[in-house]
Amino acid sequence: MSYNNIIVTKKDFVSTITLNHPPANSVNLGVREELNSAVIELEQSKDTRVVIITGAGDKGFCAGMDVTDIPNLEKGPNGNDILNRIERFPKPVIAAINGYALGGGCELTLACHFRFMTDNPKAVIGCPELNLGITPGWGGVQRLTRLLGKSKALDMILFSKRLSAQEALAVGLVDRVVPAPELMKEAMALALALTKRPPLAVNAVLNGMSVGLEKGIKEGLRVDQEWIKKLFQSQDAKEGMTAFLEKREPVFKGE
């Protein structure tokens, strides 16, 4: 599929989605439609085991909702539904935050499984929606609380704070701060390492975690047990055990 507002590239089982809506990579109807389509496509792609999401250029990852596109807000796929799909994605998703990530841009990173951020001094991250008299509408209230704890999330949201990369690292909002020229290289290194892990088992871990966080530990444990039964019958499990006995690296195929 061809895209106008995003760029999708694939290499070595890693697919990269680049938000490409200059100058701020803000989210309008076109971005929502294409991001939703890309996520659905990559979810089914056997050539994709890991996804990286980043922004075009060297200034901004994503400035959030495009305020000039408000008349189209109720059209097309809902932003909250798209981020829910990303959070529940059966493959690891890495946010390579190459610049400011504000509002919906911050919320997009929160839906990803890993977050790497550039050390560019102009790069900041946060949910400043209260400055406009509204609240984060794409899951930011819930995900930020879950990630940082109630008091830190309240402090960030109620005062519309924008954190630098080092501040975000200190509170646990991002996992790693990387020099700007090395950001995609570091994100790709993690992605390639993840592609070597057994895809079905990775899916099982992500699914079990999502269910447990959303529905409670009892339901999460039930899902974990269902996956264990399936995995023991998989070719990947046979390969993993055979490789262990033969003292070699396993080659997993997701079967």
CA-based nearest residue to 191, from 72, 66, 68, 48: 48
Instruction: Give which of 234, 253, 210, 235 is closest to 113, Cα–Cα.
Output: 210
Check 33, 43, 129, 246 and give the catalytic one: 129
Closest to 55 measured CA to CA, from 35, 75, 72: 35
Phi/psi at 116 (nearest 5 deg)? Answer: -110, 140
First CA to last CA distance, the chain: 26
Active site residue 107: yes
**Measured CA angle at 131 (ends 130, 137), to 5 deg:** 35
Would you call 87 a catalytic residue per the annotation?
no
Strand partners, 62: 101
Any residues with CB less than 8 A from the CB of 243 and at least 6 apart, and which? 249, 250, 251
Residue 135 three-state SS: coil
Residue ranges in 112-216 assigned as alpha helix (H): 140-148, 150-158, 165-171, 183-195, 199-215
Q: Point out the catalytic residue in the list 107, 226, 239, 249.
A: 107
Task: Catalogue the active-site residues.
Answer: 107, 129
